Chains A and B, each alone.
Chain A
Amino acid sequence: MSVDWLIPALLTIVTAATPLVFAAVGEVVVEKAGVLNLGVEGMMIIGAIAAFATAVSTGNEFLAIIAGAGAGMLIALIFGVLTVYLQSNQVATGLALTIFGLGLSALIGHSYVGKTFDGLAKLNIPGLSDIPVIGPVLFGHDALVYLSVVSVAIVAWVLTRTRMGLLIRAVGENHDAAHSIGYSVTLVRLGAILFGGAMAGVGGAYLSVAYTPLWVENMTAGRGWIALALVVFASWKPWRAFFGAYLFGGITIIQLYAQGMGVEVSAQFLSMLPYIATILVLVIISRDSARARLDAPACLGKNFHASG
């Protein structure tokens, strides 16, 4: 296996995995707080269009990422208010978020079709990035890739090592107990939902700013749903979600390279791979139902109202 084939392959895995990392880790926090937000796809696509629109009009990628996060957060706020304050069904509200997000992004994106800009630049650290093989693979990415790794580390640390993490987990495991000792279940959940929205927004922003600096309707293509599956796959653990995302990144590039290597399979069948892999992974991970029940936050998907 020659090295000049390997490096681009590894780089593609990283770019394919990064949006999933952001979205999945954000959703880990949301679900740890006991909220099932199925609107990841909608939040990602809104983040993607907000970031793209900002990048095209200001030319500033940093602002674009911020806009993506803000837009994701804003649309997550709708979900938060509905589920936390108005007690709406979380499954239905998450689906509504996805339908709304896809529609709204297409409406906003209508006037941005065909536009483009330079795209997020890769970091170039003199010396380090020039080392053969290790240089491009470890030090040749854009800033968001590193941010995704850092965010996983921070989330993992906060969830397991801090008081705030304990509070989030308590709310997700037993909201009545958390409430009875005086914590605000609603505020913790709202905070988690907004964080998840921002992360999904950044994940979407990565797609439209770094992955392909173009706007295409439905460009998230189910990645929000794959991120949701990753959370289950990861048993609600941030680092496992990270590795899961890279595993999927790997599957994504099989479809790109299989054709290059002359494998005679239709493009459509190769494109099915990530979706079929998701199903297989879900089967493997959910097979042991007792185990799965232990891993999932006990109050996942259940609404809380103080009057009981």
Chain B
Amino acid sequence: MLVRLEQRPEASKSMIYVSPLIAVVLTVLTAMVMFALLGVYPVKAIETFFIEPVSSLDGLAELLVKATPLVLIGVGLSLGFQANVWNIGAEGQLVIGALAGGGLALAFFDQQSIFLVPAMLVCGVLGGMAWAAIPAWLKTRYNTNEILTSLMLTYVGLLVLSYLVHGPWKDPQGMNFPESRLFHDSALLPILIDETRLNVGALIALFVVVLGWILISRHIIGFQIKVIGMAPMAASFAGFKEKRLIWLTLLISGGCAGLAGVIELSGAIGQIVPSISPGYGFTAIIVAFLGRLHPVGVLFAGLLMALTYLGGDSAQITMNLPNAVTGVFQGMLLFFLLASDVLIKYRVRFGAPKINTEAAE
């Protein structure tokens, strides 16, 4: 074979960081081809997609609003992914968290209290945790695959939301629209910049990034998570309790997703609607990988992925492209990332392999 992969003696440290850049460049180039095929002038399309949305203060604020849930969920998921715990039901945990927090807002609809928002946030975290506890319990007790159970629960969670907004939680004065009442002022997160939707949630996300960073790099739990992911046998010899870590990573990622959900409701939307998230829970999977499963990396990756949402909207408005372009973009980015990640462990060699006569493997 003329081109082959040769295993590196040691994983390349620099490639870990170069690979996402390669992936972004390849995605943009492929996207330009795709835009050309869709009959749009590629340079103009890229400008509409990536530059226009963030060329105003409002756009930048919106970028942070969209990045908030992605970063929050991404930090939680990256912990689990490092331990080979594949929670892909963050979307469902987000919805249940949002319902728990939003339900509290509706229950105390007329109350003026500075404690309402913090209580909602706590409920959101607990709601997300509760939803993630089901796959955790099933996995540790019955050895059930958490990928499938967490995903199935996402569909269930979305149906719970649909039931509530079409039924018991529907606004009595809402002309029969499937929406809850608008939240009272004291159930809304404080806005950071007037005239935008940027809210305290962004700061909470930043705080969670710091917490996540401390947990993974400076705490024994983070160490255990990394060992169990890289060398499960070593972890069990060292006496790390695998079940405890499965519980922990699922509860943390579920809690983060639930928090993201309630922040989205109380910060950006202001009522319970049939579609709370445009797939943040799934996109956060890409965010976690693009951010190299590291909280700080997740922060940057979250901003980039938030931009693809804004870009999709902007392409829809100005160029009449379907905003499904966003999903294609995100999928492509993850493909290219996974492909270029091969360079971390392998190097590309041209020409036939040299035959090692001394020590045949």
Inter-chain contact A96/B144, CB cutoff 8 Å: no
* Interchain CA distance A232-B152 in the complex, whole Å: 15
Q: Inside 8 A of A99's CB, which chain B residues have their CB?
A: 282-283, 285-286, 327, 330-331, 334
Find the B residue at minimum CB distance from A289.
Answer: B143
* Interchain CA distance A266-B6 in the complex, whole Å: 58
- A91 on interface, CB distance cutoff 8 Å: yes
Find the B residue at minimum CB distance from A308.
Answer: B361
Q: Inside 8 A of A221's CB, which chain B residues have their CB?
A: 155
Partner of B153, one of A104, A110, A275, A305: A275
Inter-chain contact A78/B335, CB cutoff 8 Å: yes
A266-287 interface code vs B (CB 8 A; 1 in, 0 out):
1011011001101100110011
Find the A residue at minimum CB distance from B322.
Answer: A110
Inter-chain contact B5/A87, CB cutoff 8 Å: yes
* Interchain CA distance A292-B144 in the complex, whole Å: 10
Question: From DSSP, what is the main secondary structure of chain B's interface residues?
Answer: helix
- A205 on interface, CB distance cutoff 8 Å: no
Inter-chain contact A305/B144, CB cutoff 8 Å: no
A251 to chain B, nearest CB (A): 13
Find the A residue at minimum CB distance from B353.
Answer: A307
- What 15 new A-B contacts, CB under 8 Å, besides A221-B155, A279-B149, A307-B7? A82-B338, A86-B5, A86-B339, A88-B341, A93-B338, A96-B286, A102-B327, A103-B324, A107-B322, A225-B148, A225-B152, A268-B160, A269-B163, A279-B152, A289-B143
- B172 on interface, CB distance cutoff 8 Å: no
A-B contact pairs, 6 of them (CB 8 A): A100-B332, A104-B331, A269-B159, A286-B143, A287-B143, A305-B5
Inter-chain contact A232/B148, CB cutoff 8 Å: yes
Inter-chain contact A276/B335, CB cutoff 8 Å: no
Partner of B327, one of A92, A106, A225: A106
Q: Inside 8 A of A85's CB, which chain B residues have their CB?
A: 5
Instruction: Report if A100-B144 is in contact (Cβ < 8 Å); known contacts: A86-B338, A92-B289, A110-B322.
Output: no
Inter-chain contact B88/A95, CB cutoff 8 Å: yes
- B186 on interface, CB distance cutoff 8 Å: no
Inter-chain contact A89/B338, CB cutoff 8 Å: yes
Within 8 A of A (CB), among B329-359: 329-332, 334-335, 338-339, 341-342, 345-346
* Interchain CA distance A202-B254 in the complex, whole Å: 35
- B277 on interface, CB distance cutoff 8 Å: no
Within 8 A of B (CB), among A202-237: 217, 221-222, 225, 228-229, 232
Q: Inside 8 A of A272's CB, which chain B residues have their CB?
A: 155-156, 159
B16 to chain A, nearest CB (A): 14
* Interchain CA distance A38-B163 in the complex, whole Å: 29
A interface residue numbers (CB < 8 A to B) = 38, 78, 82, 85-89, 91-93, 95-97, 99-104, 106-107, 109-110, 217, 221-222, 225, 228-229, 232, 266, 268-269, 271-272, 275-276, 278-279, 282-283, 286-287, 289, 292, 305, 307-308
B309 to chain A, nearest CB (A): 12
* Interchain CA distance A307-B283 in the complex, whole Å: 34
A6 to chain B, nearest CB (A): 28
- B325 on interface, CB distance cutoff 8 Å: yes
Instruction: Report if A82-B138 is in contact (Cβ < 8 Å); known contacts: A103-B326, A279-B152.
Output: no
Find the B residue at minimum CB distance from A229.
Answer: B148
Q: Inside 8 A of A86's CB, which chain B residues have their CB?
A: 5, 338-339, 342
Q: Inside 8 A of B147's CB, which chain A residues have their CB?
A: 38, 91
Instruction: Report if A275-B155 is in contact (Cβ < 8 Å); known contacts: A99-B331, A100-B331, A308-B361.
Output: yes
B133-161 interface code vs A (CB 8 A; 1 in, 0 out):
00000100011110111011101100110
Partner of B331, one of A96, A110, A269, A289: A96
Q: Inside 8 A of A82's CB, which chain B residues have their CB?
A: 335, 338-339
Which of B144, B325, B334 has the most CB atoms of chain A within a 10 A radius of its CB? B144
- B328 on interface, CB distance cutoff 8 Å: yes
- B86 on interface, CB distance cutoff 8 Å: yes
Find the A residue at minimum CB distance from B155.
Answer: A275
* Interchain CA distance A78-B30 in the complex, whole Å: 15
Q: Inside 8 A of A95's CB, which chain B residues have their CB?
A: 88, 285, 334
